[in-house]
Amino acid sequence: MLFGPVLAALSVFTLQAQQPATRASKPAQTAAAPAAASQTGQQAQPPAVTAGDQETEPGVPLIKTNVNEVSLIFTVTDKHGHYIPNLKLSDFALLDNQRAPQKVTSFRQQINLPLRVGILIDTSTSIRSRFKFEQQAANEFLLDVLKSTDDRAFVMGFDVTPDVTQDWTNNLDGLAAGVNRLRPGGGTALFDAVYTACRDKQLSSRNPEPVRKAIILITDGDDDQSRVHLDEAIKECQRAETIIYAISTNWMPTRGRGDKVLAQMTEATGGLLLYPPSAEEMYQSFKNIEQELRSQYALTYVPADFKYNGEFRTIYLYCLNRHYQVRAKKGYFAPKQ
């Protein structure tokens, strides 16, 4: 179990966060996430994250991120799933590739960064009976969530192949028409659809300013037609820095194989898996996602040993209050030079 070592590490973070910023942190031994060995043979423990002892005030625009900066969107909840607002940068501890970041350049709470949302709807034969509820709920979600003129969304249906019925736009009529053009029928290529959405839409979407990228996935999670594997689809989401929110359409009393697939996708990308009890109550799941999108934190930082090698780098973000849970992506792919 990692619970004990993690708590021990967080205790070290808390003590070091109370020290003046000008004092060097003392070496400490931790089993949670070992850092590089010091000259004494001990392991240097990263302090709680700081940004020059100042936090970016809400409403102040974020500057453009440099190529060696990492942008991290995350959510904090209590054990009941309630969102926790008004936390400070000093409430968190961060490890990038098992090392503390060199510098945190910005921190914001209750962010209003522009949205880049993909609506992916399973149109296979297995969901025919509940398809109209999915369409209605998706349209209401788009109407509620796209508030800013800088927000954009696209609509994709998928059975054996992905089909984009509306490309990037903030035109609500166009998005509604895209949702309503979808028709159920055929097998299910879920992994292909997620991979394509991230590669062709989210990854190719060039944004000069920071944005929040998300995919809203409406499916039972079963896949019988894809050419790519689950891990490939997840990696493409991580390359595109896209969070997956999944709404399961499995109304059975027990969780199926497809639900386990959706759990893997959402956990790896820092998203959320929701189980509405019926098709008629799917709208509430969309409302929950909308609430989360408006209750997130964002920070950008410079990793301590950043290399342009295209390799996957792990992220561990903790809240020093052990009663709170942080949901964030598990890592990212460094760019290549």
Residue whose structure tokens are 């790896």: 268
**pLDDT: which is higher, 16 or 84:** 84
Q: How far is CA 275 from CA 206, 251, 286, in A?
A: 33, 8, 11
The pair of three-digit structure tokens given for residue 92, joined into one six-digit string: 């968190």
Summarised one tens digit per residue, pLDDT across range 306-315 is: 999 999 999 9
Q: Which residues contact 47 (CB under 8 A, 6 or more apart)?
A: 13, 16, 17, 19, 25, 93, 100
Alpha-carbon span 117 to 124, nearest angstrom: 22
Percent residues over pLDDT 70 in the chain: 80
Summarised one tens digit per residue, pLDDT across range 180-193 is: 999 988 899 999 99
Residue whose structure tokens are 């490890």: 95
What is the model's pTM? Answer: 0.80
CATH of domain 115-293: 3.40.50.410
Structural element, H or E, at residue 166: strand 162-169
Helix (H, G, I), strand (E, B) or coil at 52: coil
Banded pLDDT at 33 (limits 50, 70, 90): very low
Average pLDDT, the chain: 82
Hey, where are the domains in the chain?
3-55+81-106+301-333, 115-293
Q: How far is CA 13 from CA 2, 50, 56, in A?
A: 16, 12, 22
Percent residues over pLDDT 90 in the chain: 62
Identify the pLDDT of residue 50.
57
In 34-148, where do the E strands start and end? 70-77, 92-96, 103-109, 115-122
Identify the pLDDT of residue 264.
97
Identify the pLDDT of residue 208.
72
- Single out the residue of 252, 295, 308 nearest to residue 277, CA to CA: 252
Residue type, 314: T
**pLDDT: which is higher, 40 or 240:** 240
Q: Could you please report the per-residue DSSP string of 261-319?
A: HHHHHHHHHT-EEE--SSGGGHHHHHHHHHHHHTS-EEEEEE-TT---B--EEEEEEEE
Alpha-carbon span 6 to 12, nearest angstrom: 10
Over residues 84-99, the mean pLDDT reads 95
pLDDT surpassing 60 at residue 31: no
- Single out the residue of 180, 213, 183 nearest to residue 198, CA to CA: 213
pLDDT surpassing 80 at residue 217: yes
76 touches 317 (CB < 8 A): no
- Single out the residue of 141, 137, 47, 57 nearest to residue 100, CA to CA: 47
**pLDDT: which is higher, 259 or 23:** 259
Banded pLDDT at 256 (limits 50, 70, 90): confident
